[in-house]
Structure 1
Amino acid sequence: MKYPEPISKLIDSYMMLPGIGRKTATRMAFFTLGLDKDQVQEFANNLISAKTDLKTCRICGNITTEDVCNICADKNRDQSTILVVEQAKDIMSLDDMNGYNGLYHVLGGVLSPVDGVGPEDLNIKLLLNRLKENQHVKELIIATNATPEGEATAQYLAKLVKPAGIKVTRLAHGLAVGSDIEYADEMTLKSAVLGRREI
C-alpha cells in the first residue's frame, strides 16, 4: 500500500535512525499521528534544540551547552587522569558507574583507513595539546571499543604519549571483544576500569 506523502516522508525520516527498519518506522509514524499537536511540536522542538543548542567542549570534546562542559569545569575531579573515549555518549556510560572521578577526552571516532579516517580526522591534536598544557596528568586511560579499529587507535595513542612519560593504560577484562561501551552494564564497566592494563 502506498501511504500519503506526509506519512511516507515521516517513515523515511524514522528509518534514518540506527536499527530502525521499515516496519518499526511505520509503527513509529502512526504512533506520532496519534499524539496531540502540542506533543508533536514539543518533540520537533527537542530535535531542533539538540541540533542547534549543543556544541563540543573546547577542552575535551564532550557535548555541552557551554564553552566548557561540567566535567572539565569541576575542580573536584581527579586532574591526574584522562580517560579517552570514542564518542561523547561513552562518557555517560562510564561516568554513571561512579567508579571513575577523573577527566575525559572524546576522540570523535577511531582510526579506520578503510573508511578514510586518519589521525587528522580525530581529536588527537587537541589531546596532545592538553597533555602538554596540563602537567598534572600522570595517566591516560584508553577506553576505545574492543574492535580492531579501537585497538589500533589505542596502540597509536600509546606510541604518541609514552615518550612524554605519561602512563598509558587500556581498559581490561569485562568488555567483550567487538562490543560497545554504550551497551555494557555497570558492573562490567567498573570491572573494566579497575582492571585496566598498561600498553
Structure 2
Amino acid sequence: MSEGYSPLLEQLIKTLQCLPGVGAKSAQRMAFFLLDKDRDGALQLSQSLKDASQLVVNCERCRMLTEDTYCGFCTSNRRDATKLCVVETPADVIAIEQSGAYSGNYFVLMGHLSPIDGIGPKELGLDLLEEQLKQREISEVVLATSVTVEGDATANIVASMAQRAGAHATRIAYGIPVGGELEFIDGGTLSRALVGRREMDAELPNKDISHIQSTKHEK
C-alpha cells in the first residue's frame, strides 16, 4: 500500500480481509464507505463486534452461540426433547429453523472431522455429545452435516454413537447437492430434505471413537 495511506486506514482494510470472501479490493471499498458515508454505522459495528466477542459463548449443552449458560433452544419447553439434530455450524441451526420443518433440539459440532487440520472428536465435542446421548431420552438423532466426504465421515461416527445409545440415526439427503453446505440451501429444499430424511446405518456401529486423533501437529 502507498506510503500516503493513513496507517489506521491500512490496518482497517487488512482487518476487514479476515471476513470470508472479502479480498483487498472489497475490504478497501468497505473501509472507504464506512469512513466516508457512515461513521455512525462504523462506530455501531465496532461496538457490536466488541460486545459479541466478549460476551457470546458456547451453550454448555449444545454448543450453540449464546450469552447465557444455556441457549434459548435448550431452555425452551416447546422443543421436542426426544429429537436431536447434529449440525456443523451455528449458521446451520438458523437455516434449519427458517425452514420450519424441525422442532427438536440441536448439537453444534463447530466443524467436521478433519485429522489433517487438527480437528478430531475432542474438537467437535463428541465426548459431550456421547454423554448427552447416554443421559437424555433421545429417540432420534438427525444428522444434518454437509454432504461432503468429511461431513459423511462425521455423520457415520455420530450415527455409531447414537445406535450404541439406543437412538435411531437419520440422515437428511433429499434435495441437498453433493458438496452442499446447509446455510446456502434455500428453505424449501432444506424443509423437504428434513421431512424426507432416511434411516442411517453406521458402517462401524460398534467402533470406539477414541482411536481417531487430530494429526495437524504430527510429523
> Matched residue of 2:85: which SS?
strand
Give the Å deviation of 1:108: 1.4
What CA distance in whole angstroms lies between the structure 2 residues aligned with 1:111 and 1:36?
Answer: 41
Structure 2 Cα separation of the partners of residues 134 and 163 of structure 1:
13
Identity fraction in percent: 38
Correspondence for 1:141: 142
Name the structure 2 match of 1:156: 157
**How far apart, in 2, do the equivalents of 1:41 and 1:24 lie?**
19
Instruction: Describe the superposition over 1:133-159 as per-residue Cα deviations: whole angstroms up to 9, x where unpaired.
Output: 112x10000100011100000011112
Partner of 2:72: 70
Residues 1:36 and 1:99: Cα distance change in structure 2 (over 3 Å): closer
- The structural deviation recorded for 1:113 is 1.7
The separation in 1 between residues aligned to 2:147 and 2:197, in whole angstroms, is: 13
Residue type of the alignment partner of 1:185:
D
- Which residue is equivalent to 1:84? 86
How many angstroms does 1:37 deviate by? Answer: 4.2
Residue matched to 1:183: 184
Residue-by-residue CA offset, 1:60-81 (whole Å, 9 max, x unaligned):
1111111111111111111110
Which residue matches 1:105?
107
Aligned-partner SS, 1:119: coil
Q: Which runs of 5+ in 1 are unaligned?
A: none
Shift of 1:35: 3.9
Describe the SS at the equivalent of 1:117: coil
Task: Report the 3-state secondary structure (helix = DSSP H, G, I; strand = E; otherwise coil) of the residue aligned with 1:96.
Answer: helix
Instruction: Return the alpha-carbon distance in structure 1 between the equivalents of residues 127 and 109 of structure 2.
Output: 10
Amino acid at match of 1:162: Q
Q: Secondary structure at the match of 2:170?
A: strand
In the other structure, the counterpart of 1:52 is 54
| Partner in structure 2 of residue 9 of structure 1 | 11
The amino acid that maps onto 2:32 is F
Shift of 1:169: 0.6
Query: In structure 1, what is the Cα distance between the partners aligned to 2:100 and 2:36?
Result: 40
2:145 is paired with a residue of what secondary structure? coil
User: 1:51 deviation in Å?
Assistant: 0.5
C-alpha displacement of 1:121: 1.4
Query: Offset at 1:88?
Result: 1.3
What letter matches 1:196 in structure 2? Answer: R
What is the rounded CA distance, in whole Å, between the counterparts of 1:159 and 1:40 in structure 2?
Answer: 48
